[in-house]
Amino acid sequence: MVDFGSDLRKRTLILCAGLALAIAVSVLLRGRRRMNVLFAAFAGDMALWYLAQSFYGIFQASIWARVTALLAVLLPQFAVHLFETILPPVESRRTRLGRVAATLAVPLVLLVLSPYHDSGWTRSLVFFYVGGLLLTSLYFLARRGRNSTSRATQGRVRYLVGVGALATAFSLVDFIWFLGVELPPVGPVLSVIFLFALAQSLGQKRLLPLYELLGRLVVATALSFTLAGIFYVCVTVIGRFSTMYLNAVLAAVVILTLFEPLRQKVEEKIHQIFFRERYGLENAVTKARRRLVHTLELDELRAVVLGALEASRRVTHAALYLSDGTSLVLSGALGGEFPPHVEMATALPLLDRIGRAGSLVLDDIGREAADGGDVPEIDRAGGAALGLDRTGVVLPVRGEGTELLGLLVVRDERVRDAFSPEEVALLESFAAQMSVAFENTRAYGRMKTRDRLADLGQMAAGLAHEIKNPLGAIKGAAQLLAEPASDAAPLDAQAREFVGIILEEVERLDRVVGSVLDYARPAAASTTAVDLNAIVQRTTQILESSEEGAIELQLEDELPRARIDPEKLRQVLINLIQNGLQATSNRGPVVVATRRRTARWGAETDGWLEIAVSDRGPGISKKILKNLFVPFFTTKDTGTGLGLAISQQIIQSAGGSIQVVTVEGEGTTFIILLPPVTEASDARSTPLASAVASASPEEA
């Protein structure tokens, strides 16, 4: 039989006592919460227990035997209450085990303090009391963990119960020395490891990483044994070189050659065995990222993202929202109902929080509230607006800079705390790859638009050449027919009507050809720094004199200037206001408002100037909205379908954009966004242009 020696036990017990005491103090310094205090009492009792055992071995005094037994009796008391605090049981069963432990402790304390403390049956009773209560408390903790709906809690409890049961078993075996049997002090070492794991679990907001640490420990252990085996083979088995130094060099070369591929293989196998769900998510995301590199269409991007999340089997619900500047529009969803439209104003606090953190785990908000933290109700309202009831992960899809392109929302309704921090980090990298792919789709769309415009320009040039001249001839001939020579017979009424029709249709065809030419080959605009309020007032004055229906102005004072051709801007405004009046059947009112856009999280247009044209008409359907700015698309009986396309082109050439916000049955708002000019660019404006831009309506 191997003699481990009593000195090893004494030194190990003193070392474990110091470590246990240090862990107790470190947890107590985090705060005086009930859980921390109970843990400090449990760990402190264990430290004193090991110290008393060591003193008993050194001095062989009966007082230390009494102290050791007394501390052993107190140990389950602290353990029962600590485990109930970590995962509280049902209220009706909350103190049942605690009362049993307290009841059994009273006679044992009396026995320990009595002259019979040194008898074998007293020590046996203490042994079974400590072991029975510790294992029972771990059993109840495991049962409560299995019944929990939180994946994090389930993982935490499995981990703690496994390590705790191992530590308790070895401690009980080690406790046999108290009955006169000498064994190596394995129990104290495992108990300190259990205390360390338990202390780490108390310091984690999300407790699932503890299982990750166990996995990494398994990887490191497997790798260490493999490398040690290589070293053993090279140094000991193939020990036929003249010196040990050459064998060690050979082992080092082999280890350096095999370390990296071996580490990857071991990690992959461990992940497949212990973390199958996360391994599936990693595989699905990796395949999707490869496909996103070659994705150029938005529909394909949406299919790749949602398909990957569905294939991972880690997500039961997912949604992709895209920003239109003022709201988030549902582009695609998986596994459930999501709101089709979310106003940016409603989710703005949530977006601010995402901007600071990079992502948002809504389970953390609920946990902060449960811990007494200050969680604004509006954060929860933002999550509810996205169809998430305090659970799920929200990830931003960003463009260049901090521009918000959209949101990716994922949820696993089967459990709470579904995603570990490592999985959230994986989803964040996936969202970043989506951002790049989304930028590629926008660039590809712009390239297709440019090519289409180039083709349209060529077609327009051909049309102008082929149609303009015959139109002129037809118009001239019709005018001659309408005004016959003095010696010719006058036209009858029917002939004059037909000639009038010819002239009207020629004029209409001439306007269509002119619009096509304007869109395909826009003339270079003469931009200058203009006063938007002055242009809006002058335009509405012109329209009020010629159009039926009310126009209401809401102008913000002291707006900065914008750089644009004033005549072109007036053309855009006339088109939008006339469309609004027609949408309301000339009943109005059409509201024209100007303002400076306030700061919004992730918006590239912060501080830009805004002209909003709003009507209370029937709104625009989704089908029409998709084609609203497509050339030649129109819902009117008359018209070329180029008014909005030309308007968009004019604003974009000035560095701005046009946005549309519509609600069917309530109305539509067209928003013109223009960047403000700086003082330097304003100073470069010509005196004449500045005078025209700043003129009052009466002067204009």
* CATH number where 296 lies: 3.30.450.40
| Final residue in a domain of this structure, among 224, 239, 274 | 274
The string of pLDDT tens digits covering residues 112-136 is 788 876 777 777 788 788 888 888 8
Together in a domain, 21 and 68:
yes
Confidence of residue 71 (pLDDT cuts 50, 70, 90): confident
Q: What is the pTM of this model?
A: 0.49
Together in a domain, 42 and 87:
yes
Does any domain span residue 279?
no
The most confident of 47-51, 64-68, 273-277, 465-469, by mean pLDDT? 47-51
Confidence of residue 316 (pLDDT cuts 50, 70, 90): confident
Together in a domain, 29 and 148:
yes
Q: Check: CB of residue 337 under 8 Å from CB of residue 175.
A: no
Q: Report DSSP letters for 94-143, one per residue.
A: TTHHHHHHHHHHHHHHHHHHSGGGGSHHHHHHHHHHHHHHHHHHHHHHHH
**636, amino acid identity:** K
Together in a domain, 29 and 155:
yes
Average pLDDT estimate for 346-361: 76
Does any domain span residue 287?
no
Together in a domain, 419 and 356:
yes
What kind and span of H or E run contains 600?
Answer: none
The string of pLDDT tens digits covering residues 156-207 is 677 667 767 766 776 666 666 555 555 666 677 777 777 777 777 665 544 4
The Cα–Cα gap between 679 and 319 comes to 44
Does any domain span residue 286?
no
The Cα–Cα gap between 227 and 221 comes to 10
Partners of 662 in beta bridges: 668
Average the pLDDT over each of 262-266, 434-438, 593-597, 681-685 and give the range with the smallest value. Answer: 681-685
Together in a domain, 51 and 158:
yes
The string of pLDDT tens digits covering residues 253-304 is 776 777 677 667 766 666 666 566 677 788 888 898 889 888 888 889 889 9
Q: Check: CB of residue 441 under 8 Å from CB of residue 298.
A: yes
Neighbours of 286 (CB within 10 A): 12
- The confidence score (pLDDT) of residue 28 equals 86
Measure the N-to-C terminal CA separation of the chain; round to a whole number of Å: 111
Average pLDDT estimate for 619-636: 79
Helix (H, G, I), strand (E, B) or coil at 616: coil
Extract the tokens encoding 567: 């005549």
The tally of domains found in the chain comes to 5
Rounded alpha-carbon distances, angstroms, from residue 534 to 531, 542, 565, 684: 5, 13, 13, 20
Q: Report DSSP letters for 535-556, one per residue.
A: HHHHHHHHHHHHS-S-EEEEE-
CATH number at residue 24: 1.20.1070
Does 352 score more than 70 pLDDT? yes
Does any domain span residue 364?
yes
Together in a domain, 359 and 331:
yes
Does any domain span residue 700?
no
The string of pLDDT tens digits covering residues 526-553 is 778 999 999 999 898 888 766 666 888 9
**165, amino acid identity:** A
| Final residue in a domain of this structure, among 423, 442, 461 | 442
The Cα–Cα gap between 657 and 80 comes to 66
Together in a domain, 55 and 136:
yes
Which structural domain range is residue 117 located in? 6-207
Together in a domain, 681 and 645:
yes
Percent of the chain with pLDDT over 70: 69
Q: Is 527 left (phi over 0), alpha (psi -120 to 50) or beta?
A: beta
Q: Check: CB of residue 673 under 8 Å from CB of residue 608.
A: yes
Neighbours of 605 (CB within 10 A): 19
- The confidence score (pLDDT) of residue 394 equals 87
The Cα–Cα gap between 164 and 134 comes to 9
Q: Report DSSP letters for 379-413, one per residue.
A: HHHHHHHTT-SS-SEEEEEE-STT-EEEEEEEE-T
Together in a domain, 49 and 198:
yes
Together in a domain, 505 and 403:
no
- Burial class, 460, CB count within 10 angstroms (exposed 0-12 / middle 13-18 / buried 19+): buried
CA 323 to chain centroid: 14
| Final residue in a domain of this structure, among 488, 520, 552 | 520
Q: Of 456 and 99, which is predicted with more confidence? A: 99
The Cα–Cα gap between 121 and 133 comes to 18
Extract the tokens encoding 233: 């083979």
Together in a domain, 383 and 476:
no
Does 405 score more than 80 pLDDT? yes
The Cα–Cα gap between 160 and 76 comes to 16
Strand order in the sheet with 341-343: 341-343, 327-334, 317-323, 404-411, 393-398, 360-361
The Cα–Cα gap between 315 and 328 comes to 21
